[in-house]
Amino acid sequence: MKTFKALLLTAITILSITAVAGSEHDHGAPSFQPPKGGILKSTHSMHLELVKGAKGIIIYAYNMEGKALGTKNLQLDATLELPRKKPVALKLENKETHWEAAVDSQGTHRYTVKVNIDDGKEKDYVKFTIENK
């Protein structure tokens, strides 16, 4: 009986740790491929695609079915997170179909862009990890 209780307690502990230690702020995989060939992340109400360009990033918004959203009614702000440095705010320029921002990754091979989204009903965020080649 002691062995059974110990096994049960161990199983419950492992399951609770697994549930808490899941990937950060993951809303599940999108049901479509990134239309622009970038990185696709999901919130509760939309998908965001980040495309890395030569001098910066471009962010597109899609509804849950994968149709492009206009950016007029969406508020985005983003921060650049470099290894061993404080996060820096990115200046996103709203182009009404997407947002653009210049990015200085300071020669790092990997950086993260955290995007905060406010659609007027809900606030959420996603994180994109970008690899420099």
| Domains annotated on the chain, with CATH | 27-131 (2.60.40)
Beta bridge partners of residue 42, listed in sequence order: 47
Q: For the segment 50-78, what is each residue's pLDDT rounded down to a tens digit?
A: 999 888 999 999 999 999 999 988 999 99
4-11 average pLDDT score: 59
Confidence of residue 19 (pLDDT cuts 50, 70, 90): very low
pLDDT of amino acid 133: 75
pLDDT of amino acid 38: 93
8 membership: H or E segment, kind and range = helix 2-20
Q: For the segment 83-119, what is each residue's pLDDT rounded down to a tens digit?
A: 889 999 999 999 999 999 999 888 888 999 999 999 8
Distances (CA, A) of 114 to 12, 15, 19, 68, 81: 33, 29, 23, 21, 8
In this prediction the pTM is 0.76
